[in-house]
Structure formats: structure tokens, C-alpha cells
């Protein structure tokens, strides 16, 4: 029963996504009035984001105006209070990572993460990283099965682990908005969840709860940021359970989930698929993702 519930929650936590849009320059013009209106609301919060891309993603939501404004206020409250340190650290990390134009230094991003002294011992770019794709979007890759979650969660709490994952999502959101402005394309963040080596029984349930909590919170915090989710290299038993639960979701949700064996299967270290990693491994990974998106 516990395994079945875990599979259902794991899928439901990964399905938040957005759809394709027109060029960013066009979208900013089309939604200029609404963006100004949202910025006026945000002016009540001294440290609210000022860039138009942040508010454009709200404008692209299908929510009614009053519901949208309520969501924005709720998110700005979070950014001004419990999320203040997370957002401040992510902004500082992005600035430090891009000091040299055209280059990305990931060291400050890792060092400035919440509870980095504990978490970074167990989560490294070998198991978790974000990399650009051929289509300009970002792909957040994670190998939970290669993380010693029991040892990790002996050093941090559920709240601290959730803060770490929300920091990762804030960094990804900042980078996506930055790339969107530069490329004139609305950049989204896809998720590649490589389940090779995942523990079907055992492991630390608190770690899984942190992943789920951060994912659910991020679906509200970052509207129209998430792209499709890839579940890769599922163990046979887990694959059978996924097939059992997938029909329970709506048709549009099922379309967002993509299952595949192959991508990342022969990659020992996720850093191999980064732009500075192994050229052959990265090229193959990008080709495989392109095929999944076709």
C-alpha cells in the first residue's frame, strides 16, 4: 500500500506544466496593461520582483482576474516572509554565477543554497542539475535513487529539505526569465526524473515528502514555468504501478507525462550532460529528449 501511494503522489507532484506561447516581445505588448496592474499590486511589497517577465507568467494563466490577483498577493506574501531568505539567496547566487558574461559558475549557486553545508554532502551535480536543451528550454534532471536520503535526512528536517528544493526552483525560475528576455522565447523548465536505482521499498519517506511539498508549492509560486515531465528508466515493478495509476488522471494530464527507457541510462554522472561535460553524452541526451518532445 505504501508503495502504491508513493507512486500516485510522485506522479501527481510532477504534472504541473504550461503550454506554448507567442514571442515574448509580443506577449509583453499584448499584456502590458495587465502587467502594469499587477505591478501596482506588487508595489505594496517593497522587495517584490520588478521585471515584467515575472508578471507576464501570471498574465498567461487561465485563472480569472480576481483569482489571479489573490494568487499573486499570496506569493508575494511568501516572498516577503518565509521565502525571503530563499529568494534573496537565489538572486545573489544568480548574480555571482553570471559575473563573467557568457559563462555559468555553479559554485556560488551550490554554496548559497539553504542548509548547503549539510545538503551538498549528499546532493551534487552528479545526481541533480539543470541544463539547457536544443529548443532553448531548461531541463531539471534528478536521480533520487542515487541520493543517500536516509543519511541526508538525519542531518536536515522536512522543512529544511523543502527550502532547499524551493531554492532550486527559484534559481531555475530566475534563469528561465533571464533567458526568455534574451531569446524572445518563453522558456520553460522540463523535468527529467531518472528512476534508475530508485528504492521501491525503504529509503526515507521524509525526503519524498520534501520533494512533493516543494513541487506542490512551486506550482503556485511559478505559474507557466513548468514544461513536460519525463519519467525515465522505471524499474519493472514501478513501471507496472505507474501504468495502474496513470489512467486515474485526466487526459490532458496524461499527455504531459512521458515515459521512456534510454535517456540517461548509460550516463554515470549527470554532470556529463552539462554544456561543459562529455560532448558525446550530452549530444545523445539532447537527441533523445528531442525525440520525446516530437
pLDDT bin (cut points 50, 70, 90) of residue 180 is very high
Count Cβ atoms within 10 A of the Cβ of residue 29 and give its class: 0-12 exposed, 13-18 middle, 19 or more buried.
exposed
- What is the model's pLDDT at position 262? 84
pLDDT (0 to 100) of residue 20: 53
Cα separation values, 177 from 43, 81, 172, Å:
20, 22, 9
Other beta carbons within 10 Å of 137: 20
Spatial separation of the C-alpha atoms in residues 101 and 13, rounded to whole Å: 35
Note the pTM of the prediction, 2 decimals: 0.88
85 versus 195: the higher-pLDDT residue is 85
Q: Comparing 6 with 187, which gets the higher pLDDT?
A: 187
Confidence of residue 8 (pLDDT cuts 50, 70, 90): very low
Mean pLDDT of 58-78: 94
Q: Is the pLDDT higher at 200 or at 67?
A: 67
Using one digit for the tens of pLDDT, what is the confidence trace for 86-123?
999 999 999 999 998 888 999 999 999 999 999 999 99
Say whether pLDDT at 199 is over 70.
no
Residue 173 and residue 149: Cα distance in Å, rounded? 25
**What is the 3-class SS of 72-88, one letter each residue?**
HHHHHHHHHCCCHHHHH
270-282 confidence digits (pLDDT tens): 999 999 999 999 9
Closest CA to 125 of 137, 149, 107: 107
How much of the chain, in percent, has pLDDT values that exceed 70? 85
Answer whether 262's CB lies under 8 Å from 288's CB.
yes
pLDDT given for residue 196 in this prediction: 80
Q: What is the mean pLDDT of residues 36-43?
A: 97
Cβ atoms within 10 Å of 56's Cβ, excluding its own: 25
Alpha-carbon gap, residue 132 to 189, rounded angstroms: 9
Whether the pLDDT of residue 13 is over 70: the answer is no
Amino acid at each position: 500500500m505504501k508503495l502504491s501511494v508513493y507512486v500516485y503522489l510522485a506522479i501527481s507532484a510532477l504534472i504541473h506544466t504550461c503550454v506554448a506561447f507567442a514571442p515574448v516581445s509580443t506577449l509583453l505588448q499584448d499584456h502590458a496593461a495587465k502587467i502594469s496592474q499587477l505591478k501596482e499590486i506588487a508595489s505594496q511589497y517593497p522587495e517584490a520582483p520588478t521585471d515584467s517577465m515575472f508578471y507576464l507568467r501570471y498574465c498567461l494563466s487561465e485563472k480569472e482576474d480576481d483569482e489571479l490577483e489573490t494568487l499573486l498577493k499570496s506569493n508575494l506574501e511568501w516572498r516577503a516572509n518565509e521565502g525571503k531568505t530563499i529568494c534573496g539567496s537565489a538572486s545573489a547566487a544568480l548574480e555571482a554565477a553570471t559575473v563573467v558574461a557568457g559563462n555559468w559558475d555553479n559554485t556560488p549557486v551550490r554554496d548559497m543554497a539553504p542548509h548547503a553545508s549539510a545538503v551538498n554532502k549528499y546532493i551534487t551535480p552528479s545526481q541533480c542539475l539543470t541544463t539547457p536543451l536544443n529548443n532553448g528550454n531548461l531541463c531539471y534532471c534528478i536521480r533520487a535513487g542515487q541520493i543517500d536520503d536516509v543519511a541526508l535526512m538525519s542531518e536536515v528536517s522536512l522543512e529544511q529539505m523543502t527550502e532547499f528544493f524551493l531554492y532550486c526552483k527559484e534559481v531555475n525560475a530566475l534563469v528561465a526569465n533571464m533567458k526568455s528576455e534574451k531569446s524572445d522565447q518563453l522558456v520553460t523548465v522540463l523535468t527529467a526524473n531518472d528512476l534508475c536505482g530508485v528504492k521501491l521499498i525503504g529509503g526515507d519517506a521524509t525526503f519524498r515528502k520534501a520533494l512533493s511539498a516543494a513541487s506542490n508549492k512551486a506550482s503556485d509560486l511559478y505559474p507557466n514555468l513548468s514544461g513536460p515531465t519525463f519519467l525515465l528508466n522505471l524499474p519493472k515493478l514501478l513501471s507496472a504501478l505507474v501504468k495502474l495509476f496513470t489512467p486515474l488522471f485526466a487526459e490532458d494530464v496524461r499527455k504531459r507525462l512521458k515515459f521512456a527507457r534510454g535517456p540517461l541510462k548509460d550516463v554515470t554522472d549527470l554532470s556529463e550532460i552539462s554544456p561543459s561535460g562529455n560532448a558525446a553524452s550530452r549530444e545523445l541526451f539532447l537527441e533523445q529528449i528531442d525525440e520525446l518532445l516530437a
